[in-house]
Amino acid sequence: MRALFFTLLLTMTWSPVTQAAETLYEIRVDGLACPYCAYGIEKKFMQRGIVKTFDMDFKKGLVKVTLKDGEEMTEPQLKQLFDEAGFSYRSVNKKAL
């Protein structure tokens, strides 16, 4: 019985959901100071319905996005999103939170 309990507990704590760590995407973009561009990028991210937090640093040309648990964006997906918003992004840096 005790073995079953610990097995269940272990299964629960190691499930993919609890394991999924949030990822912060720091994306460098040129010309972010224009709100039309900034809001365009933000709109494209929001339309995907996977964004948890979104922040922009106009001065540094940096977009900071965390996605909902278990969600991920690949570099080609990010490139496409920025293309649609009228940008070419320079680089992305992923950080596990």
Partner 1 sequence: MKRWLIRSAVTLGLLLVGVMLTVWMLWIPSAVEPPYRFIQAWGERGTNPGQFNDPTGIAVTADEVFVSDSRNGRIQVFDHEGRFKRQFGSPGDKPGQLGRPMNLSIHENMLYIADYWNDRIQVFGLDGKYHHSIGSSGDGPGQFNSPGGVALNRKGELFVADFYNQRIQHLNADGSFVEQWGTTAEIGIWAEEFNYPTDVALGNDEQLLVADGYNDRIQVFDSSGKFRRKWGGPLAMNIFGPFPGWFATVTSVAVGPDDNVFVADFYNNRVQKYDSQGRFLTAFGRRGNGPGQFAYITAVAVAPDGTLFATDLGNNRVVSFRSPRKPQ
Residues that bind partner 1 (CB under 8 A): 33-36, 39-40, 42-43, 46, 58, 86
Burial 32-47 (b: 16+ CB within 10 A, else e): beeeebbebbbebbee
Residue 11 CB, shortest distance to partner 1, in Å, is 40
- Spatial distance between the Cα atoms of 65 and 55, rounded to a whole number of angstroms: 6
Residue 42 CB, shortest distance to partner 1, in Å, is 8
Say if residues 70 and 20 touch (Cβ distance below 8 Å). Answer: yes
| 70 vs 86 by CB, closer to partner 1 | 86
| 27 vs 56 by CB, closer to partner 1 | 56
What single DSSP character describes residue 60?
A: T
| 60 vs 94 by CB, closer to partner 1 | 60
